């Protein structure tokens, strides 16, 4: 049995971790969700805070399991955030993966955000709540997310998370190319 401890109880993040690890490792994955704090704002407004939130979630998970699980389990955390770039505001996610003392941290694709939505985030609201109001949806952050809504479901929050996790797992596929991690 291969266990993956996910630093969230959000079904989108859990499913993305399970699908990505199963594809990369070519085996069944048992997921253990763990509600942990990101240690950053509920809606991170910078790349730095978003990245740190993913790392903090991994550290919290690792610190809350037995030594045996620390040595054998995979740990995955996904933190969504927003920032204002040269080309305008966008949302993205950072993923952090930890396994047997090895880290991989990676940022996913950016989705441009309409100015009116970004303004609501700057006022302290969370992206999922704003999207629910704008699109008359309910709890979209645990479904297709802003990505699904703004791309007419051609991409979803889960599909993007799966892709960025698979990319982050490249480090574990070819350790000799990454300095023999």
Per-residue pLDDT band at 43 (split at 50, 70, 90): very high
In a domain, 90, yes or no: yes
Q: CA end-to-end span of the chain, whole Å?
A: 23
Region 114-134: mean pLDDT is 94
Given pLDDT bands bounded at 50, 70 and 90, which one contains residue 180?
Answer: low
Domain limits for position 84: 2-110+156-174
Number of domains in the chain: 1
CATH number of residue 31's parent domain: 3.90.950.10
Average pLDDT, the chain: 95
Task: List pLDDT tens digits, range 55-101.
Answer: 999 999 999 999 999 999 999 999 999 999 999 999 999 999 999 99
- How deeply is 116 buried, as exposed, middle or buried, from its count of CB atoms within 10 A (0-12, 13-18, 19+)? exposed
CA distance 54 to 7: 8
Q: What is the pTM of this model?
A: 0.93
Q: What integer pLDDT is reported at residue 145 of this predicted model?
A: 87
CA quadruple 139, 142, 89, 149: dihedral, nearest 10: -70
Residue 88 placed within a domain:
yes
Please provide the DSSP assignment of 126-164 as one string.
-HHHHHHHHHT-SSGGGTTHHHHHHTTTSS-HHHHHHHH
């Amino acid at each position: 049995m291969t266990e993956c401890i996910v630093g969230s109880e959000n079904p989108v993040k859990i499913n993305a971790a399970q699908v990505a690890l199963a594809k990369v490792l070519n085996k069944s994955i048992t997921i253990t969700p763990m509600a942990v704090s990101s240690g950053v704002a509920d809606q991170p407004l910078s790349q730095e805070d978003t990245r740190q939130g993913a790392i903090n979630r991994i550290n919290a998970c690792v610190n809350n399991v037995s030594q045996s699980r620390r040595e054998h389990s995979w740990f995955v955390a996904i933190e969504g955030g927003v920032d204002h770039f040269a080309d305008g505001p966008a949302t993205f996610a950072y993923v952090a993966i930890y396994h047997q003392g090895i880290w991989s941290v990676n940022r996913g694709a950016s989705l441009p955000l309409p100015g009116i939505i970004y303004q609501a985030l700057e006022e302290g609201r969370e992206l999922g709540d704003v999207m629910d109001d704008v699109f008359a949806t309910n709890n979209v952050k645990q479904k297709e997310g802003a990505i699904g809504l703004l791309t007419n479901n051609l991409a979803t929050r889960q599909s993007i998370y799966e892709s960025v996790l698979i990319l982050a797992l490249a480090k574990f596929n070819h350790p000799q190319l990454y300095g023999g991690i």
